Structures are given as C-alpha cells and as structure tokens.
Structure 1
Amino acid sequence: MKIAFVSVRGIPNNYGGFEQFAEYISVGLAKRGHDVTVYSPSYHPYKENEYKGVHIKHIYSPEPWIGGSVGSFFYDFASLKDALKKEHFDIIYEAGYTSIIPAFIWFNVKKIKDPIVVTNMDGLEYKRTKFNKWVQKFIHWEEKEAVKHSQYLIADNMGIHDYYKENFGVESKFLAYGADVHTDFNAEYLKEFGLKPEEYYILVARLEPENNIVMAIEGYLHSKENGKRPLVVVGKTTTPHGKELVAKYGHEKGIKFVGGIYDFKKLDSVRHFSKAYFHGHSVGGTNPSLLEAMASGCFVLAHDNIFNRAVLKENSLYYGSAEKVTEILNDIDNICEKYKQGYTEANIEEIKNEYSWKHLVDQHEQYFKELLERAKNK
C-alpha cells in the first residue's frame, strides 16, 4: 500500500501526540514493506528526505511568521493538495480537522474515489476553554463540516466513537494511540526535584483549564496530605492558565511547579516512583499522557468522564470535584494498600494487549486493507 500522513508537524517527533503517533505507525508500516510518506512543515529541524524507511515530504509552512492557527491552514491546504494532485496514494490519513476544513471543502474530499481519505477526529476541540466563545463556535462548525466532508472517520477513544454516533448518526472506526510498557526507571532522577520514591503525587498536563488542575490542587490543599507529600505539577507554566496557577498556588509549600520535563526517561521515572498520578483531562479522546502513565506503572487517580473510563475501566479511582480528591487523599495509604498493585498491574496488561504500538500497527494495516478491498468491490 502507498500511504500518506498529512496535517502532522513532521517526524521524528518534536511536538506531541499526533506526531508521536505518526512516527510509530509510519515506521511500523514501512518496516512491513508499505510505501509510506509523512508530510512535514518546512520549519521542522529534520531536513532529510527519509527517516527509518519513511519518505518525508517537506512542505512550506508560514506558521513561524504568521501564527500557529493561520499558518496551519496554509500548510494543511498545501499538503493535502500535493497528496491529492501530485502523488498516487492509496490511503491519505488526515490527523485532526481544525485546520483542514477549507481544503476538504475546496477539494470536495467526500466525493473523491481515489485515494481513500480517513480523518482522525481527535477530541472535542470546541470544548477547550483556552478558546473564547467565538473560536469555540467556529471549531464546533468545523467539527460538523469534518463529519459532512470526510470519507471515513477514526475515533481514538470509544467515548469519541459514541459521541459521533449519538450526535451525528455516523460510524467511526476505533483506533487508539499507543504506548509501550516501560521498565528502565531510575530513582536518581528524583534528586533533581528534591523527591523520594512514594513520597509525592504527580500531575502531568498542559496547564489548561479543561485539564482540571485547580480541582486536583484544591483537593490536595484541603487534605491531610498537604505539606506531607508534595503535589508535583509537570507542564509549561508559560500558558495564560499556567501563569494564573503559579500566581495563585506557587507560594504553597506542598505544591511544586517544575515546568516541562522533556527527557522521557526522566519523566517516566518521575511518574513511576510517585505515590499516585492525577489525570484531569476531560475533553480529549485517548490522551497519550494517560497511556504513558499506565505504561510507567502509575497508580492513576482520574477525572471522572467517559474518555478516561473508556481507557482505565475499573482500574482507577475517579474524582469529579475537589472534595472527592480530598476524600481520596485523606485515606490514601489504605487505598494504596487495597488497590494500587492490582490496578497498576491491570493497566500494564491493558497497554500490552490493547495499546502497544505493534498492536496498533497491526490494526491500522488491517483497516487500510479493508478500506481498499471495500473500494475495489464497489
């Protein structure tokens, strides 16, 4: 098969979720003999035309000069135009919809028979509170247009799958993100942050309101654990909400804002040795940081929503308020004795069986073959 991944910011991954996904899946498919191309913006630091058997197609992007969102529109339009007009792909995988809709409408993607275009719908982007109400309305319109103009939809979480079924009456293919079980942990990394194994809590997230960081912090501050075992917040504090959090809680003895940790071995170790891991994401699908926490053997305390429950199932304690966080932390030692080992072992098995990158390469390969066979028989 000849496959393209568009609307990603290139590989090797320097940015985040979709780029990590594109790297693992594209390299995995290339190793199986498929002809795979990943589109990459001109500002990406990797300038070669091939990476681990994957072709890299460099496309000019004005994003560094005119802003992220506007620049993405131009980059995604040019990438899709190239993929549709200049290449002869069997499958085009579209990563997200928020900056591709003008191109989808312009090229009338829904009616194109060759190549097959599949769209990963990501999370409920219009609910992200970092956007003002007008941007949220625009993104909600984009979501509707993505459903209207896409050939096939992919949902990375069963909660997302059910959302599109219930709200739009359309089917989507459940294909998740991935992670691999981690084993190379080193407690020496903790010294940099003044931490000891099992003597701290951790929260790893973009510091945005929809990730419910305030809920976790307030719950912690009102618990018996306040000042006993610190709550370590990992994430860039330069976002507007991050600045608000530091201003409000930075003076608290029990709260440690450590910024982003970009050394993955270090981050995995800091996750692994925590007493418990807070996962407050509430509007996405299958969040990569949750999978990484599960793969690192964390005892996960998760915000109670359909997306987190779809991944963690019964192997987490859930909270929907600061008061519930306080309740959990006030009894944390008994809770850990009762649940921690069983939950962490179950989550590691879930990663091995359902979310390993090898398994996901299998699933994507099979799905792409099914789509081609379906098109052949029409």
Structure 2
Amino acid sequence: MKIAILGTRGVPNYYGGFEQFAEFFSVYLVEKGHEVYVYNSHNHPYQEKKFNGVNIIHCYDPEYKMGTAGQFVYDYNCIKDSQKRNFDIILQLGYTSNSVWYFMLPKEAIIITNMDGLEWKRSKYSKPVQQFLKFAERLAAVKSDYLVADSLGIQESLKRLYGKESEYIAYGATTFTNPNEAILNEYDVKKHGYNMVMARFEPENNIDMVLEGVAKTNDNVPILVVGNYKTKHGNYLIEKYKSYKNIRFIGGLYNLEHLNNLRLFSKIYFHGHSVGGTNPSLLEAMASGALIAAHNNAFNRGVLQDNAFYFSNPDEVTHLLQHLDKEENKAIIENNIQAIENDFNWEKINGKYLQFFEACFTKKNRTHAR
C-alpha cells in the first residue's frame, strides 16, 4: 500500500506523542514492504528526504510566525500536496487544525483519523475555542472513512456523540531495563525518598490538586514537579507554593534516560491527567516501574485497571502520601510492566494498525470490484 501520515510536526520525533508514534509506525510499515510518506514541517530539524526508508515531504509551516493559526496553514499545505500523490491510505493524527480541510482530501484515498483526546473539554481553552474544537471533532468523526480511538473512553464518546464506530488501538511504550541510580544525584534526591508529578501545566492535569495534598502532609519528602512551568497556570502554581521547600519545580525534562530513572526510583508517581485518551506519559510511567497514583477517571482506569491507587481531591492525595509504601506494592508494579509487554508494546500496536489498514484496504477493493 502507498500510505501517508499527516497531522504531526514530522519525524524523527522532536516534539511529542503523535510524532513518536509516527516515527515508530512509519518505519515499521516500510519494514513490512509498504511505500510510506510522512509530512514534516519545513523547519523540522531533520531536513533529509528519507528517514530509515520513509519518504519525508516538507511543507511550509508558519506556526513559528503565526502561532496556533499557522497549524491550519501547515495542514492545508500538507493536504494540498497529498492530492497529487495517489495515496491508498491517509492516516491523520488528530483533527484540531486539519478537519476543516476535509473537502480537499483526495477522494480515492481511504481517510483514517486517530481522534486523539476530547480536546474541547480542556479548560485552558476559551468558550469560543472549545466550541470550534467540538465542531472540528464532529467534522473529523463524520467525514473520515474510519476512526481510531486510543482509549476505550474515547471510543465510547465517539459512539455516543456521533453514532460512529471506531477501532480501539492504544498508544505504545517500551519497558525500561537500564536503571542508573547515580542519575538521582543530579536532582539531589535519594531512592524512594521523593515523589514525582509530570504534566503540562494546565488545570485539567490537576497538578494543583496533587500539590495541595503535598502541602497538607507537613513532611519534608520532596516532590519533583516536571514540566514547562512558563505558562499562566505555571506562574500561578509557583507563586502559590513558593514557601514549600519540598515542592521543587524542575522545568521541562526531555532526557528519556533521566525521566525513566526518576520514575523508577520515585516513591509515588502522580498522574493527574483527567482529559484525553491513553496518555503517553502514563504508559511510560508504567513501563519504567513506577508506583502510580492516578486521578480517578475513566481514561486512567481504562489503562491502569486495578494496578494503581486513585485520588479525586487533595485529601486523598495526602492519605496516599502518608500510607503508600512502594516495597509493599511490587505486585501491581509488575502487573503494569506486564501490561506494557503484553498489551501496549510498540510491535503489537503497530501490528494492530497495519491489520486495520489491510482490512480497510481490502474492503474498499471488494466494493470497487462489484
């Protein structure tokens, strides 16, 4: 098959979850004998025309000049280019800024869209933006030939809101097998002597809820707060908790070796995300051997099942901090590692996508043959 992947800043990954998936999946498809194209921003750090056998198409992306509005121009340029390529399948990762151009998508290509999370529920957006995102989601759901949901919660929402079936295929992760306790020295922490929370600084990620629970404990165990705090909500949190010496805002951290070791050697890893599908950082925490305390919602429970502790308010965070012992919970940590190896490993995830593509492709050819 001749396959295109749209909707990311490009490969190799220099940005986030969809880019990581696009990198792994595109190379996997090439290894399976398919002709694959990935659309990259014109200013992506990787400027070659091939990446491990994957064809790279650079399109002009003015986001660096225009901000969010530039994403719409970039997606327009990618879709416009796709019209001349005679693709069998176009995989769109997300819908936020590309669904408005649905009418430009090649009519002969099978359009498959990964619907991402429920973006319009994110409280960081104003009401008009939320309304637009809900409109964009509906367009993508209704106009795509097939949908992929990366969590059972998203799958249920697509069925309930739009009457559309979707293929459930989760995100992936790789189990961490190379611990290096010496890395902790760089962060002035000791094995199982600190806690951790990692997220974008947005209200729906409940960093504030976690830190309120920390503030109520009156102990000196540090918590590392990982994420770019140079946002409006970040400024608010830093000001609110500046008097608590055990709350350490360490900024964004993109060194995977450091992150994996910090997660592995933490006492409790808090995951506060409350909106969206299968969150990549949650799977990475599972894969690194963290003891996870997660915000109590359907998305997190759908992934973690009974292999985590849950919280819904600061008092419950405080209770977990005072009573959880990592050594006593080795079984659920091992269950999460097994879940990554059995259900969320990249080979299996890539295989599920390819099987779905083949089924869609076969169905279309049968229809045309009649």
Note whether the superposition's TM-score is higher than 0.5: yes
Contact 1:179/1:351, CA 8 A, preserved across alignment: yes
Contact 2:199/2:205, CA 8 A, preserved across alignment: yes
For structure 2, the 5+ residue unaligned runs are none
Question: Deviation of residue 227 (structure 1)?
Answer: 3.3
Q: For residues 1-378 of structure 1, what are the structure 2 equivalents within 5 Å?
A: 1-67=1-67, 69-83=68-82, 85-104=83-102, 106-107=103-104, 109=105, 114-223=108-217, 226-333=218-325, 336-338=326-328, 340-378=329-367
Contact 2:48/2:56, CA 8 A, preserved across alignment: yes
TM-score, reference length from structure 2: 0.97
CA distance in 1, matches of 2:278, 2:121: 16
Contact 2:3/2:88, CA 8 A, preserved across alignment: yes
CA distance in 2, matches of 1:287, 1:356: 14
CA distance in 1, matches of 2:310, 2:135: 32
CA distance in 2, matches of 1:266, 1:163: 36
The CA deviation string for residues 5-40 of structure 1, in whole angstroms up to 9 with x for no partner, is 001101110000110110011111111211111100
CA distance in 2, matches of 1:55, 1:99: 23
Contact 1:124/1:283, CA 8 A, preserved across alignment: yes
CA distance in 2, matches of 1:176, 1:87: 29
Q: Secondary structure at the match of 1:377?
A: helix
Residue type of the alignment partner of 1:377: R
Residue type of the alignment partner of 1:371: C
Root-mean-square deviation (CA, aligned residues, Å) is 1.2
The CA deviation string for residues 74-121 of structure 1, in whole angstroms up to 9 with x for no partner, is 1111111211x11011110001111012211x32x5xx6521010111
Q: Secondary structure at the match of 1:292?
A: helix
Residue type of the alignment partner of 1:6: L
Contact 1:77/1:102, CA 8 A, preserved across alignment: no
Q: Secondary structure at the match of 1:88?
A: coil
Segment of structure 1 superposing worse, 153-162 or 247-256:
247-256
Contact 1:276/1:299, CA 8 A, preserved across alignment: yes
Give the % identical residues. Answer: 46
CA distance in 2, matches of 1:54, 1:4: 10
**How many residues matched?**
367
CA distance in 1, matches of 2:161, 2:187: 46
CA distance in 1, matches of 2:53, 2:77: 24
For structure 1, the 5+ residue unaligned runs are none
The CA deviation string for residues 275-303 of structure 1, in whole angstroms up to 9 with x for no partner, is 01000001110000001000000010000
Question: Deviation of residue 248 (structure 1)?
Answer: 1.0
Return closer, same or farther for 1:204/1:170 CA change in 2, 3 Å cut-off: same
CA distance in 2, matches of 1:145, 1:91: 19
Residue type of the alignment partner of 1:57: I
Residue type of the alignment partner of 2:48: E
Q: Which runs of 4+ in 1 moved over 2 A?
A: none
